[in-house]
Every structure is written in structure tokens, then in C-alpha cells.
Amino acid sequence: MTDTGRAVSLIASVGSGEAIDIRPEGSEEYVVHNIYHSAAVGLYMVRGAVELKLDDQAGSDAWAAYVFHVTNVQFLRLKDWSGAQQYLGYDGVCTHGS
């Protein structure tokens, strides 16, 4: 069983037009508090074929002190819009283990 309450995080380098999914494995659930980016990016909530745009930001910035609940079925996607390589990342807490 996965430890609930453990920190979850990622910082990844992505190329132009690429994305990262904030998507736990199996039946894990996360609460994501902070999302970081070093250039223009779009933030989406994804469930199946539905991709709902939540927000976008230009330049280096963050969505800080939020409470995004994500599972393997409904998750966040960060899409690079900068036209260049950039860093994307997040941190949060595992609230339910598999």
C-alpha cells in the first residue's frame, strides 16, 4: 500500500509544444498545491476525451497555494505554448494510496 500523506512532485524539461500530465498511477489520489513553469503554458483538466482549459499564463510563473484533486481518471495537463524548451513542475500530497 502506498503511504498517504507523502509528498509528490516533479520537475521536467519539455520541448516546444509538449505536455506533462499530473496523473497518479492506479487508484492513488493527489492534492496538487503548486504548479510551476518557466515559459508560456496552458493548464487543463482532462477526463477521457474531454480537455477543459482552466487557465493560461505567459512567462515564468506559478499557480501557488491551490487545491487541485487528481486521480488516474481525472487529471491535470500542462501544455507548453512557448515555442521553446522549458521546465514544468508541480508538488502536492498523496491523499489515497493504491
Dump pLDDT digits (tens) for 23-76: 999 999 999 999 999 999 999 999 999 999 999 999 999 999 999 999 999 999
Is residue 9 within 8 Å of 90, Cβ to Cβ? yes
Give Rg (Cα) of the chain. 13
> Whole-structure pTM over 0.85, yes or no?
yes
> Rounded to 5 degrees, what angle do the CA atoms 1, 70, 18 make?
115
Identify the pLDDT of residue 97: 86
Domain limits, the chain: 7-96
Fold assignment, 7-96: Jelly Rolls (2.60.120)
| Strand ranges inside 1-98, DSSP E | 7-14, 19-22, 29-37, 41-47, 50-57, 61-63, 68-70, 74-80, 86-96
